[in-house]
Structure 1
Amino acid sequence: MTTPSETTRATTPSLNLLLSEVALAAARLAEAGVDSPRADAEELAAWTHGVTRGRLHTVRDGDFDARYWEAVARRENREPLQHITGRAYFRYLELEVGPGVFVPRPETEVMVGWAIDRLRELDIAEPLIVDLCSGSGAIALAIAQEVPRAQVHAVELSDEALVWTRRNVEGSRVILHQADARTALPELDGQVDLVISNPPYIPLTEWEHVAPEAREYDPELALFSGEDGLDMIRALERTAHRLLRPGRWLAVEHSDQQGGSVQRIFLEEYGWVEAGDHRDLTGRPRFFTARKDGQRP
């Protein structure tokens, strides 16, 4: 991959070398179809040069690292930004991620914020939380960090994902379990204050419409869930009802096309009340919450 010509660089005399290269990289990423080309170009420059994005202007021309263009080429080929840098940001966390684990998305932060607010309202000294399909551990770690004295259990099945989960939860209060979310933690039945999950929910029929970053790099186990995408959510309805105390909450993420469909899974006759959808940062339906009401018929 060739780098920009000296002639092109000379057209931006007011910028230092790195900032002009970032502008050119952003144009290349935009042409490749990357959703956030400027932000990704800056993040790659910051990672390559060992500074924050806000300090890019401090990198001297003589310190420009040509490896930047190797990183840009990888992103241009739609390798996830987080796989290139090895880090993902989630609320107040910096997580290690890479091949084999689902990269946490900003949309999920809204659901976690809702969950933290509910836990604070419960005013319980040591609330018990279960994060099913934990992946990188982002949800479990955010709750453990922001809800003092919370007892947080994270459940993940995949050997490949657990490599990253273990790295991220090391030294935290999160208790990690390798288990199937559909049958996990029977020893906690009827004791849990919040069950939360970002499960697989993409229909198998939508494979070709999934963004390359997810389709080619996120594990299929974390993406697809049956013909309509709801197989795991149906299973989680039963798991959550088994785990929760009466009066406690479930929160589960879904696609922006599945709101009404998820509502039909968590029915009042199955022991759920106050059920409803919530919107993400873009105003689209993104996660569903419900409260357990007594015993399942």
Structure 2
Amino acid sequence: MSATRAGDLVRSAAAELAAAGVESPAVDARLLLAHVLDLDPGRLLLDPAVEEDDRAVFEALIARRAGREPLQHLTGKAYFRHHELAVGPGVFVPRPETEVMTGWAIERLRELIAAGRVPRAVDLCSGSGAIAASLATEAAPTRVIAVELSTEAATYARANLAGTGAELVVADMAAALPGETGTVDLVIANPPYIPLDAYASVAPEARDHDPTVALFSGDDGLDAIRVLVDVAARLLVDGGLLCFEHADAQGEAAPGVVLASTEFHTVRDRRDLSGRPRFVTAVRRARAR
């Protein structure tokens, strides 16, 4: 059987994905074909011929994507800032909006470095290690510790953090790092924050494939954030920084958790690149002496 042109395959696959409700059908079709052919996606503009064996593999992947399996699970890769990360079943796939919060944290760490400090940062609910890898490589020589509860997710994090200098600790954040009390300059996290009653509204790619523990967090979506704020208050030095992501509908509720703790000041909610409320920042109050 003769080879098929890449452009024809992409157009047909994009139509199939669009009919299945995939958000970016043409982009996903191109990325999957480039993955199968082991080409840079830009090379598909040359409309190469696709042999029958590769076409069969591609069509099988398109069928899985049409079933709303995440693109990143099909390729085994996700991209976050300057990193290509290993991802798959059992680990939360990092989202682009988290890059904004991570960039804010990197800037604050660089300020400490410029002042002659070697900062200490902790990434709670680390998942794939995306945030920790970025802090360790973009704000060197910061000492970065990633904390992740799931042993499945930790397998990916361990691979993604290799060579970055970041340390991985597999533990529940509530009791993690007892020896680091009052020593950390920055605590950052992308915790679970979806309310349980929002289950049906979550995109199938996340709801059916991301770990449940990385998505849902009690009736109001704030259970993990409450724990996170308490842990950060314990770990941070006086004047240390807290930042964490939340749902865009939690632009008042999430900062409210921090304010209710009374351990922080300068509590501020910040927006992502689309202008939506996305992450909270705050400063640890001085402890009573």
| Structure 2 partner of 1:184 | 176
Q: State the alpha-carbon separation in 1 of the partners of residues 68 and 48 from structure 2.
A: 29
Q: Which amino acid aligns with 1:210?
A: V
- For residue 108 of structure 2, the aligned residue among 118, 123, 137 is 118
- For residue 137 of structure 2, the aligned residue among 121, 141, 145 is 145
Runs of at least 4 residues off by over 3 Å: none
Residues 46 and 53 in structure 1, CA contact (< 8 A), matched pair in contact too: yes
Structure 2 residue 44 is the aligned partner of structure 1 residue 56 = yes
Gaps of 5+ in 1: 1-5, 7-15
Q: Which amino acid aligns with 2:95?
A: R
Q: Which amino acid aligns with 1:168?
A: N
| Structure 2 partner of 1:213 | 205
- For residue 256 of structure 1, the aligned residue among 248, 259, 283 is 248
Q: State the alpha-carbon separation in 2 of the partners of residues 268 and 220 from structure 1.
A: 27
| Structure 2 partner of 1:74 | 64
Q: In the TM superposition, what are the counterparts of 1:214-253 in structure 2 within 5 Å? A: 214-253=206-245
Change (3 A) 1:269 1:208: closer
TM-superposed CA distance for 1:51, in Å, is 0.6
Q: How many residues align?
A: 284
Q: State the alpha-carbon separation in 2 of the partners of residues 223 and 132 from structure 1.
A: 14
Q: Which amino acid aligns with 1:119?
A: L
TM-superposed CA distance for 1:268, in Å, is 7.3
TM-score scaled by length of structure 1: 0.91
Gaps of 5+ in 2: none
Residues 135 and 165 in structure 1, CA contact (< 8 A), matched pair in contact too: yes
Q: Which amino acid aligns with 1:106?
A: P
Q: Which amino acid aligns with 1:207?
A: Y
Residues 153 and 175 in structure 1, CA contact (< 8 A), matched pair in contact too: yes
| Structure 2 partner of 1:22 | 10
Residues 131 and 139 in structure 1, CA contact (< 8 A), matched pair in contact too: yes
Residues 82 and 98 in structure 1, CA contact (< 8 A), matched pair in contact too: yes
What SS is found at the alignment partner of 1:264?
helix
Residues 32 and 75 in structure 2, CA contact (< 8 A), matched pair in contact too: yes
Q: Which amino acid aligns with 2:258?
A: F
Residues 271 and 296 in structure 1, CA contact (< 8 A), matched pair in contact too: no
- For residue 34 of structure 2, the aligned residue among 13, 23, 46 is 46
Change (3 A) 1:62 1:89: closer
TM-superposed CA distance for 1:170, in Å, is 2.0
Q: State the alpha-carbon separation in 2 of the partners of residues 82 and 269 from structure 1.
A: 37
TM-superposed CA distance for 1:171, in Å, is 2.5
Q: State the alpha-carbon separation in 2 of the partners of residues 162 and 293 from structure 1.
A: 32
| Structure 2 partner of 1:3 | none
1:130-175 deviation per Cα after TM superposition (whole angstroms, max 9, x unaligned): 0000000000001111012110000001111112111111232010
Residues 90 and 109 in structure 1, CA contact (< 8 A), matched pair in contact too: yes
1:98-123 deviation per Cα after TM superposition (whole angstroms, max 9, x unaligned): 00000000010010011111111223
Identical-pair percentage:
52
Residues 230 and 261 in structure 2, CA contact (< 8 A), matched pair in contact too: no
Q: Which amino acid aligns with 1:73?
A: A
Quote the RMSD (CA, aligned, Å): 1.9
